């Protein structure tokens, strides 16, 4: 894994308090009431991980607790880094 991926995996994250998740058959819509961004979470396991972020000390710990295969962690790290940029999730 790259240094950026490792850093994201080690970061404690949480959904931004101004974000609402609306379940959809494909995953969920994430809407940020502050910046008015709408983001599609295209997989149900992304929603599961996103909801569990605040309960664990890092993204890696959350992925492990949610039963996400380690081979998929780099793609989750990339996705959650992007969600951090759009302020859907934030560092704790």
pLDDT tens-digit map of 38-57: 999 999 999 999 999 999 99
Is residue 1's pLDDT more than 60? no
Backbone torsions φ then ψ of 22, nearest 5 degrees: -115, 115
Structure tokens at 89: 């999730």
CATH fold for domain 3-91: Outer Surface Protein A; domain 3 (3.90.930)
Q: What pTM was estimated for this model as a whole? A: 0.90
CA distance 56 to 47: 15
CA distance 1 to 12: 18
- Domain borders along the chain are 3-91
Q: Is 87 helix (H, G, I), strand (E, B) or coil?
A: coil
């Amino acid at each position: 894994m790259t240094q950026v991926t490792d850093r994201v995996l080690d970061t404690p994250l949480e959904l931004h308090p101004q974000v609402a998740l609306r379940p959809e058959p494909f995953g969920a819509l994430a809407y940020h009431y502050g910046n008015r961004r709408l983001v599609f979470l295209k997989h149900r396991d992304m929603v599961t991980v996103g909801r569990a972020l605040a309960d664990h000390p890092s993204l890696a710990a959350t992925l492990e607790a949610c039963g996400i295969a380690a081979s998929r962690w780099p793609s989750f790290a990339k996705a959650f880094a992007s969600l951090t940029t759009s302020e859907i999730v934030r560092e704790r």
